[in-house]
Structure 1
Amino acid sequence: MDRRDAVKSVAFLLGGALSATTIGVFLEGCHSSSPASADLFSADQEKMLAEIADTIIPATKTPGAKAAGVGPFISMIMKECYPEDAQKVFVKGLEDLQDRAKKDYSKSFLEITAAQREELLGKVREETIAAQKADKESDAKAETAKEQEVQKKGEKENNAGNPLASKVNKSRPYFFAIARDLTLLGYFTSEIGATQAYTYLHIPGRYDGCVDLKPGQKVWATN
């Protein structure tokens, strides 16, 4: 299994923890990158990706996201897989994060402390949750208004047979949600994430579909 297949497998395993935008990307397949995508991020923004990921998954008893090379992974997947509208939202999110760091701490995002990055991203996370909730309520009202018309036309979800279909819609992309999604995917498909954050058995024996974990035991890595 190559890295791309591993990412897709973990995306499906994490299904409920990922945003609709990211699930849609891996259900539909990666888009062909445009020439403009090669210069999607500035040098400082590339560095910001590594620090954002490391703030989301910091080093504890195991190495963090930065050590696992998640920053370059986020950059690659954003350029190669996400559609243009999501790319624009993500770049705008990085620009806003930089502006807020300068406003709140009088320093660039790369210059503020780890604690300040955590505080700042915590605010962005809460704002994202609130925005997603508001958008969901708005979409639900619009869906209710169209329900009779849709039923008359006999329209159905194209992915009705897919177990993740109910989670996929045309919801708008959110910067923090994508950053979180790709941090999780990048970390748990990396060598560090699979062998140190998870319990990894290099040469497995028989397959056990359901194994009880002891308190504090790491989850088994999937092959």
Structure 2
Amino acid sequence: MQRREALQQAALMMGVMLSAPTLAGAMGRVTNTGPSVAVSPDQEALLAEVADVIIPNTSTPGAKAAGAEKFIVRVMRDCYPKADQEKFYAGLAKLDADSKTKFGKGFAALENAQKIDMVKQTMTEDKPFFLRMKELTTTGYFTSEIGATKALEYLPVPGQFNGCMPMKPGQKAWAI
């Protein structure tokens, strides 16, 4: 099984369909050779904050600790056309502007409960942005070293192949 097939199978097991550009990005491919949107450090920091609401720190490190925002920036730049990048970053800017309107401060400065409230609002008001953000965050997290070794079971050198192996109660899913 090739890595692409393994990622597709893992996505299907998690109940998620990965878009072709995200899958290409997870494979390290560059499919956008045209112009790209320049991302500022503030935008990257904002991406980290939103990603950390989607996958927060629990008994395992969250998306921010895994550097999911770097994955998101790279995949958007390398795999999505400029028009899609502009829509995505416009959605991010709208989330920050809505936070300022509702709470009087930017998303990054909000309390955790307020951040969750803003993400829930975005889920309904800007669903395309939220779905893409969620897809990129989860893919970036679970393909990172932290996601693969702390949140998933990881066996660096697998033993023999057992096609049907029962899982113990509470056992994590296997990393690819």
Name the structure 2 match of 1:163: none
> What is the Cα deviation at residue 88 of structure 1?
1.6
Partner Cα distance (1:9, 1:53) in 2: 24
> What is the Cα deviation at residue 70 of structure 1?
0.5
Name the structure 2 match of 1:195: 149
- SS of residue paired to 1:66: helix
What is the TM-score when the length of structure 2 is the normalising length? 0.85
Name the structure 2 match of 1:42: 40
Partner Cα distance (1:104, 1:8) in 2: 43
Greater relative contact order (Cα < 8 A, sep 6+): 1
Consecutive unaligned residues in structure 2, runs of 5 or more: none
Name the structure 2 match of 1:24: 20
Name the structure 2 match of 1:10: 7
Name the structure 2 match of 1:51: 49
Partner Cα distance (2:126, 2:35) in 1: 30
Contact 2:36 2:77 in 1 (8 A): no
Name the structure 1 match of 2:120: 122
- Structure (1 or 2) with the larger CA radius of gyration: 1
Contact 1:48 1:109 in 2 (8 A): yes
Contact 2:48 2:68 in 1 (8 A): yes
Partner Cα distance (1:6, 1:90) in 2: 27
Contact 2:95 2:107 in 1 (8 A): yes
> What is the Cα deviation at residue 24 of structure 1?
3.1
Name the structure 2 match of 1:135: none
What is the TM-score when the length of structure 1 is the normalising length? 0.68
1:52-201 to 2 correspondences below 5 Å = 52-128=50-126, 174-201=128-155
Partner Cα distance (2:95, 2:45) in 1: 13
Contact 1:194 1:221 in 2 (8 A): yes
1:213 corresponds, among 145, 167, 170, to 167
Partner Cα distance (1:7, 1:101) in 2: 38
Consecutive unaligned residues in structure 1, runs of 5 or more: 130-173
Number of matched pairs: 168
